[in-house]
Amino acid sequence: MKVSPVLRMFAPSALALLAGGLAAGASLSAAEPLGLPAIVHPKDNLPTEEKIALGMQLYFDKRLSADDTISCASCHDPAKGFSNGEAVATGVGGLKGGRNSPTILNSAFHTFHFWDGRAKTLEEQALGPVQNPIEMKMSLDEVVGKLNKIEGYKTQFQKVFGTDVTADGIAKAIAAYERTILSGNAPYDQYKAGKQDALSESALRGMKLFFGKAHCSACHAGPSFTDNAFHNIGLPGEDEGRVSISKLAGDKGAFKTPTLRDIARTGPYMHDGSMKTLEEVVEHYNKGGVPNDFLDEEIFPLKLSEQDKADLVAFMKDGLASTEYPDHKAPELP
């Protein structure tokens, strides 16, 4: 089987897509990196090599923004853990958002997207920043019209979707590409698979704390170390988080649990980017956060020693760092 230059840079899971798609609702079988489950694809957006390649181009193309300066990769940069290395996102004209750019890593497994969970699918998420006035600042009609003037995109859309450029096609192509951005096969996964020396002594102690005394796995659970739920972890500030979407009083100040895969690459941390280091994050939880009326019951003082805190950081930094990190580079654009 001939493998295209585009897919050579992807994790082994992407190679399984070369067959040209899967049966409706089927999942990839045993191709994802060690430690991750099989991906279940939407019935109306099955993956193909051509669709993924198109989505990758769109992801890195700054022409999706009003002034040709911002792409998806501007805020979700592979070189920065598929985040942007800054406290908050920066959009057209240098405008600043109010929240940190969440990583795209393992978003294939998320049941909600954005910090407040306002999008339920990657397809829905993909069109959000395009239309946001302080991100890419385009209407869907504007971006569709703009891309339809680029012959290379029109040709690819006809091949992949049988139509000229459409908003639906843009969303599906970007989402198909984003489902190839996977983080797994970390030392933790290798240790769980039987490689007893995969973790350092410090990281091994940190792992035991993570799943034990430190109580981290109460929220950071499952293959991607997230429960895909929303929690108030005792951060100060006026951002009300999930309550603006759910309208449930108990969700005030609650935000989506981020994945911890390759967490050392994705700082700064928290929904507002207020913590620069993992050491700060651990100290926040050790103190039990900042008390408020909606603080989750999972948040309480942990009484960790300095060694405990160092070991927890070692587990997150080293134990959860992928040995197959998807260090994608921008492709040639039409």
Catalytic residue among 32, 50, 135, 178, which?
135
Contact present, 255 and 87 (Cβ < 8 Å):
no
298 is catalytic: no
Contact present, 5 and 20 (Cβ < 8 Å):
no
Whole-number Å distance between alpha carbons of 313 and 321: 12
Q: Is 124 helix (H, G, I), strand (E, B) or coil?
A: helix
Question: Could you write out the DSSP letters of every residue in 153-189?
Answer: HHHHHHHHHSSS--HHHHHHHHHHHHTT------HHH
Question: Could you write out the DSSP letters of every residue in 179-217?
Answer: TT------HHHHHHTT-TTSS-HHHHHHHHHHTTTT-GG
What DSSP state is assigned to residue 109? G
Whole-number Å distance between alpha carbons of 334 and 312: 46
Instruction: Estimate the crossing angle of helix 140-148 against helix 151-161, to 10 degrees.
Output: 100
Contact present, 19 and 46 (Cβ < 8 Å):
no
Contact present, 295 and 112 (Cβ < 8 Å):
no
Q: Which residues are catalytic?
A: 135
